[in-house]
Structure formats: C-alpha cells, structure tokens
Amino acid sequence: MDSRRAVLKTGASIGAVAIAGCSDLLASGSDSSEAALYADFVTETVDRPVTVEFEQPSRLASVEEYSSLDPDDRYIGVGPDDVESAVFVTLGQHGPQADGYGLLSASLPVETVRAGLEEQFQGVTERDSMNGFQTLEVATGTEQIAYFGVGDNSIVLGSDRDLYETAVNAANGDTSSLFDSNDALGLLEDSIGKPAVGEFELAPMRSTLNPTGDAVATGEGIEVAQGESPYTAGIVYETARGASSTEFEIANAIIGNRPGVDDVETTVDDRTVIVTATATTSEL
C-alpha cells in the first residue's frame, strides 16, 4: 500500500497534503458497531477524486513486526499508543496545495495539541470555539492557514476554515456520509470492513488497483498481525463486464507492486473485483 501516513501527523503530515492545501464514530476493529471506523466521517461532496486514508495507530503499534509505524512517530505531539484511530480525507488531487480534513480519535488537552503544533509551525493562535471544539488557527506557510479543533475525545483538522467546519460537523454526527450515498463506496465498505490500515479512492487515477484507468472506485485494507496479515482489496467498475475483463490484470499488478503480498486470489461479484491475499507483516 502506498504510504501517505504523513498526512495524519503534524508537520510533514499535515504540511504535505492537508495544509499546502465524536471519537465514537471511529470504533476500534473489535467494536460491535456496524459502521466502519472511517465511513461516518467522510461527508457527501461533489468533489472528485476523493481519497480516504485511515489507520488505527494504537493497534498498529502493538504489532512488533509492523515496521511502517515507528514507535517514535508523533501525532500532534503524542505517540501512536495514544491515538485510537486516524482518518484523513483529500478532495481533489494530492499535492502541496491539496484540500482536506481529518480526525484523530484521542483524548488530549488543548495545551498538548498546541505544543505539538508549535514544534512544527511558528504561528499558532487560539480562536473562538466551534460546536464543542477549541479552535487553533495555524499559519503553515506563506498565505496558508489551517485549523485544528480539540474536543473531549477527538481532534479535527481542516486545510481551510470551511473544511475545518466540515470536520467539526462530521465528528459531531451532523453530516451525511459519502459511503451511504455513493453505491460504489458502499460496496467497498462491505468488502473491506474494518482493517487496521487502509485507503479508498473515488474516481481514482490509474494505479496498481486501477491498472486500466476504468475503475469507478478502489479500496484496500490490511488487518495487521504478527507474522502474516490478511489483505483485502476491492475495485468497482461501471459494469460487470468491466470487472470480469480486468480481474487477472489487477491480480498481476498487485503481485508486482505490493511487496510481501502473496497467495493472491480474485473473484468477481457483479461489477466488483474482490482481491484477497496474505501479506508478510515485516515487509509491509
């Protein structure tokens, strides 16, 4: 899986994607909640493409062989053990000017969050609270302003004021989910479920999961564990014919571009190609 974990952290993270451009929504993998840990936070939008990246840092940190998460990684000044879940949504293409919003499921005082931001950025100013979130305005570069909000059990962020408000409303459950209104994302949520780390793309660019460039939406997730980790991917097309005609091309692309992923099997369910495999955790 292409790593964009930086977007979920301070500095390199938020600076790289979001800023150049209630935690009960984010249940852990063992939770009995029907909603996947990312789905309720992604709001309806007409923007395309939409990329959703998510992970459960505290779960990942507990797997010693999972080297993609360094114990010294910091999420706004705290280590992964203190962050239950992290979600970041990018609207449009990735890059220095990308727009996005995110949420960290963690209970932190505003002083800790502010100190973590001040380690990376010089201009941090407290603004009026918004719907239960203490607001911090952050100058991240020339004429670039981002916003962070600290609630009782979660931290939200937006690459501009409007997207910050979107994040606040989504965290409070006051928005409609894109996973509910978009049938392709709904199909992928059903297939991929609640893995420890994963990513979805709506209207994706050509990629390993979209080798022909014809997919409507793609998604993949890894249930990280010691030794071997189950890997699942889904690719949705406009038609069943589109899915059946690319099944083996997708399998070959995954084998060639996902290090440590073996035993790849594919099935076609109407217009969705579903991929299951086993990943060697130490190679992720």
At residue 105, what is the residue type?
Answer: S
Q: What is the DSSP letter of 267?
A: E
The runs of H, that is alpha helices, within 220-269 are: 240-257
CB 7 within 8 A of CB 53: yes
Q: Residue 85: left if φ>0, alpha if ψ -120 to 50, beta else—which one?
A: beta
Does residue 2 sit in helix, strand or coil? Answer: coil
Residue 261: is its pLDDT beyond 50?
yes
**pLDDT value for 80:** 87
CB 149 within 8 A of CB 167: yes
pLDDT in tens, 189-202: 999 998 999 999 99
Sequence-distant (6+) residues with CB within 8 A of 131 are 168, 169, 172, 174
pLDDT in tens, 25-63: 333 333 334 445 689 999 999 999 999 999 999 999 899
Residue 110 CA to its chain's centroid (Å): 23
Does residue 118 sit in helix, strand or coil? Answer: helix
